[in-house]
Amino acid sequence: MMDHPDYQRDEVISLIKTPPPGCTLHVDGDGLTLRASIRSLKTGLVALGMAVFWNGIVSVFVSAALAGIYFNLLGPLPKDAPIPGLVNGVPIMNDEPMGWGSTIFLCVFLIPFVAIGIAILFATLMSFAGMIKIQLREDDCSVATGAFGIMRKRRFDPQQVSTIERRKTGARSRHNASEELYLRADKEITVGSELNDTSRQWLHTLLQQTLLSDPTTRQSYGLPSMNWLK
């Protein structure tokens, strides 16, 4: 491997010593961990509003579906149950008590709406606490994205890394950027479309100088030599 020509030495050292806000580099023995935050309070508040609105409406129909299941299995519900369309403990649909047919139809009908609601909730969590975590250690080289410990983790073989570049995504993010990082090893991994341009550049530079440089070059930047990475 050799030092990647895209960046000057002083620029690399500056990025290592002074990461952008929300980005951290942690040296762990002969490996390291890179973290980049994808939090955005503005986006999170918008997503939260959408989640409350959408899931509030869907929850009305979900409660009706659950009432239908309860009624068909166990009989009438308590008369004071806070469920719309309940008459004397009996859920009503189309002016008739909900039988299995209408209950199953409603459950199936609601699947895509519930899925959208879950996706909006996940987007809300990502906006408030989302992060990208990249581990580069001999026993674990991986890219993970998520929030509150719920991470999508993708492992790769560092010995097979051949390409680390910025690519156009064809879509625009909340920061008006339309790029992501593309890593090609034993598998293809894309990450970072949610980052602002400064954080994406930092992550791109650190990955290139770590995975596509020789041990001596890495040490000259103040990074671990990572002699296990040939």
Q: So what's the pLDDT on residue 191?
A: 95
- Our measurement of the distance from residue 76's CA atom to the centroid of its chain's CA atoms, rounded to an integer in Å, reads 42
For residue 35, pLDDT beyond 80: yes
Q: Is the whole model's pTM more than 0.85, yes or no?
A: no
Given a contact cutoff of 8 angstroms between Cβ atoms, the answer to whether 172 and 205 are in contact is no
CA distance 188 to 149: 24
Q: At what angle do helices 9-17 and 197-211 cross, to 10 degrees?
A: 110
CA distance 210 to 15: 13
Over the stretch 191-208, which tens digit does the pLDDT of each residue have? Answer: 999 899 999 999 999 999
Q: In the predicted model, what is the mean pLDDT of residues 10-33? A: 90
Nearest in space to 110 (alpha carbons), one of 100, 99, 102:
102
For residue 174, pLDDT beyond 80: no
Over the stretch 119-170, which tens digit does the pLDDT of each residue have? Answer: 999 999 999 999 999 999 999 999 999 998 889 999 999 999 999 999 988 6
Q: In the predicted model, what is the mean pLDDT of residues 183-198? A: 93
